[in-house]
Structure 1
């Protein structure tokens, strides 16, 4: 497996746009568009490879206390931030594409890629909320098979042809034109998830893998599996392996940042994070503990200036 960059790159899942209790900081509850713009612009200046946005349409009441109901739409959010930034890529992490017809997904994301000058990375996943699928008329039990075919349909619909064609069991289309076309000749499709099915799907159908919750000690076995699958099936082309790091704090925190948080000076953090590269990871998704937008953007700037050069 090989990635397009010779060094470990780094991106960030944006705060504010999703506010699950698993990771949201208290200050995010009162934050809004101005905060998202400031954070995205900081990422743009600080060398982040991408900013990412999640995807949920509606959260059932039973899950709302843990997940919250704050989930910004990824296409609208990333388009909004595209206009406020210059170079940082725009990642859906992840779009639950099985909730929508692939031609609709292609129309939305092709337009985003066109408007942003080719900065889209389309991350996709199977989804996990049954009520969401039911409300939208999608098949939750067959979501894996649906995603498999949707990936094939999206390859066609996001390709160079104005009139794409796909003939499958679930979707069948041809002689239906869509413009604008994506600015990129090939929109990267990164597959999210850490189940055996998701890992296989990423290896055989994706341009990259976005793990979901794998601790660093479990990554080598997953990477070995991806490598073995791609070699056995003779899958060619670049493949970007991702990892989500532990929470970070650059410097010595003056408050309780949690026992799992990696803290310390730039060299210490870089030494720990370089272990991901040694495993075969190409890009890391970082998250910083913070008590305010200002503290977060200070952390991001310090990471980009002081830690990133040592990655």
Structure 2
């Protein structure tokens, strides 16, 4: 296992604004924002102790989904490479890369270069994907995307390892005698597997260094975590797995505006007390999202969270 997070503590990271703009979660101000705002938020995360910053992955969004998903989806490798240059310590997470859309050698070239340039800060989050038209346009196998992802993870582990001439032989992909440099800065790039379906949980248990659940409520997480650990034990894998959770939207303090009924608000100690429940479930990292009306308010929320909530998460 490649450990990313400090052992025995609840860490926190975030999906960045601006880079993906689904109407489900994007704030109104993001539509007019761009690289400057994206870089500013990344810098705040970097200096505020966030474990990672994350970027999503969609190549193209069909018209039937555009009203809900939007069409603003920055490329994860290009975006994380840009942000690597303006940050120093924060981990760079693809959450999640739909690696079945690309040949593993092509993906390995991109992600190895990113890890090399960032000094070993890549966390490769992977998922199966869900947009049929996207797969069709790229000539990828949508119906068999689960099996493709399984093999892609194995192929990527080989291609992102220490060998200059990696070797892999599978049902769909095979390569040998082909050199790729630069190599990743890490000897082994951590792979976090995303998704909450039975197949995704099984995949994370057997193939993942970490698990990125998607959409599980607090009530659902304990049973999902127990299942994940049972499957890992059954597979004979003794290495621990870093378990994530997506927390409710947050606003530290009294917002003074409508932040939605699902948003967790209040004084820092109250917010921390609520979030500590994730640690009690066995979660290693929470992905946080702050309600905001602009980049300045978002940066302020991040800083207040880091200074006043985060120190209370592990009490």
TM-score, normalised by the number of residues in structure 2: 0.97
CA distance in 2, matches of 1:17, 1:226: 30
CA distance in 2, matches of 1:67, 1:227: 33
SS at 2:261 equivalent: coil
The alpha-carbon deviation at position 238 of structure 1 amounts to 3.2
Structure 2 partner of 1:51: 53
TM-score, normalised by the number of residues in structure 1: 0.99
Question: What is the aligned counterpart of 1:169 among 168, 171, 196?
Answer: 171
Q: Does 1:17 align with 2:45?
A: no
Structure 2 partner of 1:247: 249
Structure 2 partner of 1:119: 121
Structure 1 partner of 2:29: 27
SS at 1:91 equivalent: strand
Superposition pairs for residues 90-109 of structure 1, below 5 Å? 90-109=92-111
> Is the contact between residue 102 and residue 154 of structure 1 (CA under 8 Å) also seen in structure 2?
yes
CA distance in 2, matches of 1:25, 1:221: 32
CA distance in 1, matches of 2:54, 2:81: 12
- C-alpha deviations, 1:110-168, integer Å up to 9, x for none? 00000000000000000000000000000100000000000100110000000000000
Q: Does 1:191 align with 2:188?
A: no
CA distance in 1, matches of 2:240, 2:49: 22
- C-alpha deviations, 1:23-73, integer Å up to 9, x for none? 000000000000001000000011000000000000001110100000000
Structure 1 partner of 2:39: 37
The alpha-carbon deviation at position 101 of structure 1 amounts to 0.2
- C-alpha deviations, 1:71-101, integer Å up to 9, x for none? 0000000000000000000000000000000
**Which is worse superposed, 34-43 or 236-245?**
236-245
After superposition, the CA RMSD in angstroms is 1.0
Moved over 3 A (4+): 1-4
CA distance in 2, matches of 1:107, 1:238: 28
Structure 2 gaps of 5+ residues are none
The alpha-carbon deviation at position 253 of structure 1 amounts to 0.8
> Is the contact between residue 4 and residue 238 of structure 1 (CA under 8 Å) also seen in structure 2?
no
- C-alpha deviations, 1:161-191, integer Å up to 9, x for none? 0000000000011010000000011100000
Superposition pairs for residues 135-154 of structure 1, below 5 Å? 135-154=137-156
Structure 1 partner of 2:136: 134
Query: How many residues get paired?
Result: 311
CA distance in 2, matches of 1:25, 1:62: 22
SS at 2:54 equivalent: strand
Question: What is the aligned counterpart of 1:294 among 293, 296, 310?
Answer: 296
CA distance in 2, matches of 1:19, 1:216: 25
> Is the contact between residue 4 and residue 240 of structure 1 (CA under 8 Å) also seen in structure 2?
no
